[in-house]
Amino acid sequence: MHPVKTIALSVALAATAGLAQADETLDAVKSKGFVQCGVSQGLPGFSNPDDQGNWTGLDVDFCRAMAAAIFNDADAVKYTPLSAKVRFTALTSGEIDVLARNTTWTMSRDADFGEFIGVNYYDGQGFMVPTNLGVSSAVELDGAAVCTNTGTTTELNVADYFRANGLNYTVVAFEKADEVVAAYDAGRCDVYTTDRSGLAAQRTKLSKPDDHVVLPEIISKEPLGPLVRHGDSQWADVGRWTLNCMINAEEAGINMENVSDMATSNDPNIKRILGTDGDLGAKIGLDNAFCANVVAAVGNYGESYDRNVGPETALKLERGVNALWSQGGLLYAAPQR
Amino acid sequence: MANNSNKTALAAPAPSFWRDPDKRAIVYQALVLAFIVWLLYSIINNTATNMESRGLASGFGFLTSSAGFGIISTPFVPYTEDSSYFTVFLVGLVNTIIIAFVGCVLALVLGFVVGISRLSSNWLIKKIATFYIELFRNIPLLLQILFWYSAVLKPLPGPRELHEAGETVYFSINNRGLIFAEPMGQEGFQYVWYAFFAAIVVSWLIRKWAYARQMQTGEQFPNFLVSLGLIVGAPLITYFVMGRPLEFMPAEMSRFALRGGVTIIPEFVALLLALVIYTAAFIAEIVRAGIQSVSHGQTEAASALGIKPTHRMRLVVVPQAMRVIVPPLTSQFLNLTKNSSLATAIAYPDLFSVFAGTTLNQTGQAVEIMAMTLAVYLTLSLLTSAFMNWYNSSIKLVER
């Protein structure tokens, strides 16, 4: 399927004339009635379909939040599952409106492919090895075979790390995450490397998850975030403030349950966030109550985190650096005022 | 003179422009050509305009930047992470050519054996061949590739279960591949090569001589056995005379895997198995059709002349069947080459995987990379076609 898909996307890029000019995406989305959201082909906790085809995850929640902000209907989303390889082509060719696919924000990607609108998960690349290998640190991995995905920053980071530490390695790079997991499970490699959230997610797919250990080293910064096409700052604002709204709501203590009660709050900050005061939403082409709609439909960032990747889920990821800045984390959204 | 003027008088008056079919044809062809040129221009112009409006860089400058990622298997091309994207292109190209060439040769051999077995008078052999063909040509190739990959990978032990750290290993099959000691020619090894090539030349001369003698006297000469003896024997004798100038550099077991030696990765083996077994099923049917297209009278006539059964097949039936076999065989070779791009599913670093995959993703130069990749597959296919067309015309029935 993938060769076909890649070629089809290239041809689409070549053959379509005059799509998506500047400042048109929001109008186009409003007139077609849904957000076309590029997601992964199945990464538990971030974007994963269940057996009925319902998507869940942190990235999926972002797509739903955008739909709630625009239409006040979180279900007005259509998902396009994309491999790491074709994701940017899908965005630049106009096939999708927003790419929320656990994508690392880097300078070259920002320059080449689209505009990152924020970070919805601070991650870092790690290594997982079978426990019986007896390895306690990544610097012991001289001569190991490493399984990873093609077309990812992971592939470049692992090359950098092993070279910088003067270690030999063999890389076995697959296109789909499922193929990497299967090969690692079959013993093709000694090490599986990807973002640590990904390791936690994929570990649940292994035949014996408890026989594997994640090494302590974090070899890279991987700020994962959604991105949109270049040249449409209005659409980028819609995405950026949807994300900021979820983080600000958590900070202000607004959640799914109390959002309707909060509407009567006298706190000027909460009034601005919920749009009962001022016209912040209208300034970016949305309803003034867009943030209230987002929180009512998908909850604040903390609720989304706990529901999808938190300690109560199969991924068991502590908040860590993804806590609010006021609680020792890195999440610091610009104020809505 | 009189003759000449007579001719002019007889010629019909020149028809008007539109009534002359030759001139009309030129106009139509010019119109079609103009349409195609316009179509190409608008596609290229559209692409360029769209890319510019989306701020996508174009051009081939990216080929010189350094790639920065590792590749599992880079035969014949020196490659490190510092190498350029162009080197990645070469690595992918070489890997594609290797799998396509080895695959075509093995599929041809297996296809011929199965095709002839299908026509065997032995019930068991015939049924096995039929079963093989019907099974493998009716299962999607991608499924077969994934099947063989897990079939190759799953039952094999890991290197750590086989070898102790620090052990030197001359030969090993484990789930990291087939690993054997690397033969290194020492001083004097070049004579072994000389002997090998000399033996090939001498065999060719003997063949010519034996053919001429058979034409004159009817006496046969055991060509094949003598040639085989020469080609194997001469280098072997030279090797021992020169004092065995070949050293085997063994692989050494590190903490995780074998280092050094020559490694044939399991991805290659799995892909090769799948491509060969799949394509051979089609080739077998082509061979069967070719053989059955030779009239039974030919076989009977050969028997009547007292030609023995093995010669009957090799000298009477197969040469005539080849004329039917070669054109569809070419298509199968082309299919195999193109199907090798499915390698991307199992991490074999062919052109499609490392260049149209990883490189495309790192650089975003979709149009340029896809154009280069398409050009490669087109060139490989055209070269295969050209070779097979040449072969086809060389075995054409010579009519007297």
Per-residue model confidence as pLDDT tens digits over B281-324 = 999 999 999 999 999 899 899 999 999 888 888 888 888 898 89
- A87, A172: one domain: no
For chain B, the straight-line distance linking the first and the last C-alpha, in angstroms and rounded, comes to 44
- Pairing state of beta strands A212-214 and A125-130? antiparallel
Residue B339 lies in a domain: yes
CATH number of the CATH domain containing B102: 1.10.3720.10
User: Is residue A40 within 8 Å of residue A46, measured between CB atoms?
Assistant: yes
- B150, B20: one domain: no
Q: What is the pLDDT of residue B347?
A: 87
Residue B377 lies in a domain: yes
* Closest-CA residue to B342 (of A182, A1, A151): A1
Band of the pLDDT at B4, cuts 50, 70, 90? low
- A308, A255: one domain: yes
Residues A67, A35: Cα–Cα separation, whole Å: 6
pLDDT (tens digit per residue) in B148-194: 998 888 788 888 888 888 888 888 888 888 888 888 878 888 888 89
- B304, B385: one domain: yes
- A25, A154: one domain: no
Residue B170 lies in a domain: no
- A38, A105: one domain: yes
- A148, A264: one domain: no
Residue A68 lies in a domain: yes
Q: What is the pLDDT of residue B255?
A: 81
Contact with chain B for residue A113, Cβ under 8 A = yes
Alpha helices in chain B (DSSP H): 2-10, 21-53, 85-118, 123-136, 141-153, 159-162, 190-217, 223-241, 266-292, 296-304, 309-311, 318-339, 351-353, 360-363, 366-394
Residues shown for chain A: 337
Q: What is the pLDDT of residue A5?
A: 56
- A208, A236: one domain: no
Q: Choose among B51, B150, B361: nearest Cβ to A85.
A: B361
* CB crowding B93-129: b at 16 or more within 10 Å, else e: bbbbbbbbeebbebbbebbbebbbbbeeeeeeeeeeb
- B345 vs A contacts (CB less than 8 Å): 174-176, 179
Residues A142, A59: Cα–Cα separation, whole Å: 35
Residue B273 CB partners (closer than 8 Å, separation 6+): B148, B152
Boundary of a domain, candidates A220, A248, A264: A220
- Element of type H or E holding A126: strand A125-130
Q: Which domain holds residue A196?
A: 125-220
Task: B84-91: list long-range contacts, CB under 8 Å, 24+ apart.
Answer: B85/B355, B85/B359, B85/B363, B88/B354, B88/B355, B88/B358, B88/B359, B89/B63, B89/B351, B89/B355, B89/B359, B89/B372, B91/B349, B91/B354
- B153, B280: one domain: yes
**Secondary structure of residue B250 in the 3-state scheme:** coil
- Pairing state of beta strands A227-228 and A115-116? antiparallel
- A169 vs B contacts (CB less than 8 Å): 70
- Tell me whether residues A155 and B69 touch, CB distance under 8 A: yes
- Tell me whether residues A3 and B358 touch, CB distance under 8 A: no
- A43, A116: one domain: yes
Q: Is the pLDDT of residue B129 over 90?
A: yes
- B367 vs A contacts (CB less than 8 Å): 10, 13-14
Q: Choose among A6, A14, A169: nearest Cβ to B70.
A: A169
- What is the total count of domains within chain A? 2
Which pair of structure tokens corresponds to residue A216?
């302590």
Q: Which domain holds residue B32?
A: 15-53
- Tell me whether residues A3 and B352 touch, CB distance under 8 A: yes
Boundary of a domain, candidates A205, A220, A235: A220
Alpha helices in chain A (DSSP H): 2-15, 25-32, 58-71, 87-92, 107-112, 153-164, 177-185, 196-203, 233-251, 259-262, 268-274, 280-283, 290-298, 301-308
- B314, B371: one domain: yes
Q: What is the pLDDT of residue A18?
A: 42
- B114, B34: one domain: no
**Percent of chain B topping pLDDT 70:** 96
- Tell me whether residues B70 and A84 touch, CB distance under 8 A: no
CATH number of the CATH domain containing A111: 3.40.190.10
Q: What is the pLDDT of residue B8?
A: 53
Residues B253, A50: Cα–Cα separation, whole Å: 44
Q: What is the pLDDT of residue B17?
A: 80
Residues B228, B235: Cα–Cα separation, whole Å: 12
Q: What is the pLDDT of residue B186?
A: 80
Contact with chain B for residue A8, Cβ under 8 A = no
* Distance to chain B for A112, nearest Cα, Å: 7
- A103, A151: one domain: no
Contact with chain B for residue A150, Cβ under 8 A = yes
Residue B68 lies in a domain: no
- B144, B270: one domain: yes
Residue B383 lies in a domain: yes
- A316, A167: one domain: no
Task: B369-378: list long-range contacts, CB under 8 Å, 24+ apart.
Answer: B370/A6, B370/A7, B370/A10, B372/B89, B376/B93, B376/B96, B376/B351, B377/B337, B377/B338, B377/B341, B377/B351
Residues B383, B377: Cα–Cα separation, whole Å: 10
Residues A36, A95: Cα–Cα separation, whole Å: 8
- B146, B277: one domain: yes
Q: Choose among B49, B256, B364: nearest Cβ to A145.
A: B256
Contact with chain A for residue B58, Cβ under 8 A = no
Q: In angstroms, what CA-CA distances link A54 with A47, A62, A82, A255, A301?
A: 10, 15, 16, 23, 20
Q: What is the pLDDT of residue B398?
A: 72
Q: What is the pLDDT of residue B106?
A: 97
For the segment B22-46, the average pLDDT, to the nearest whole number, is 92
Residue A337 lies in a domain: no
Residue B167 lies in a domain: no
In a 13 Å sphere around the CA of B69, the CA atoms on its Cβ side amount to 30
- Tell me whether residues A183 and B51 touch, CB distance under 8 A: no
Residue B249 lies in a domain: no
Residue A335 lies in a domain: no
For the segment B92-114, the average pLDDT, to the nearest whole number, is 95
- Per-residue confidence in pLDDT tens, chain A, 337 aa: 455 555 555 555 554 434 444 568 999 999 999 999 999 988 889 999 988 989 999 999 999 999 999 999 999 999 999 988 789 989 988 899 999 999 999 998 998 889 999 999 999 999 999 998 889 899 899 889 999 988 778 888 999 999 999 998 889 988 888 889 989 998 889 999 999 988 988 888 899 988 999 998 899 999 999 999 998 999 999 999 999 999 999 999 999 999 999 989 999 999 999 999 889 999 999 999 999 999 999 999 999 999 999 999 988 888 989 999 999 999 999 999 8
- B153, B39: one domain: no
Residue A22 lies in a domain: yes
Residue B381 CB partners (closer than 8 Å, separation 6+): B334, B337, B338
- A214, A241: one domain: no
Which pair of structure tokens corresponds to residue B90?
């070469």
* Distance to chain A for B74, nearest Cα, Å: 11
Boundary of a domain, candidates B7, B34, B53: B53
- DSSP letters of A186-247? TTS-SEEEEEHHHHHHHHTTSSSGGGEEE-S---S-EEE--EE-TT-HHHHHHHHHHHHHHH
- ipTM score: 0.76
- A19, A42: one domain: yes
- B121, B40: one domain: no
- Tell me whether residues B358 and A144 touch, CB distance under 8 A: no
Residue A334 lies in a domain: no
DSSP designation for B157? P
- What is the total count of domains within chain B? 2
Q: In angstroms, what CA-CA distances link A33 with A63, A82, A288, B53?
A: 14, 22, 19, 26
Band of the pLDDT at B380, cuts 50, 70, 90? very high
- B41, B97: one domain: no
Q: What is the pLDDT of residue A19?
A: 46
Q: What is the pLDDT of residue A1?
A: 43
Q: State the best of B50, B85, B88, B377 to mutate against chain A, taking most chain A CBs within 10 Å.
A: B50
- A264, A159: one domain: no
Contact with chain B for residue A175, Cβ under 8 A = yes
Q: What is the pLDDT of residue A316?
A: 86
- B101, B48: one domain: no
- B289, B368: one domain: yes
Q: How many CB pairs under 8 A join A and B?
A: 149
Boundary of a domain, candidates A204, A220, A236: A220
Q: What is the pLDDT of residue A17?
A: 39
Q: What is the pLDDT of residue B247?
A: 84
Q: What is the pLDDT of residue B337?
A: 93
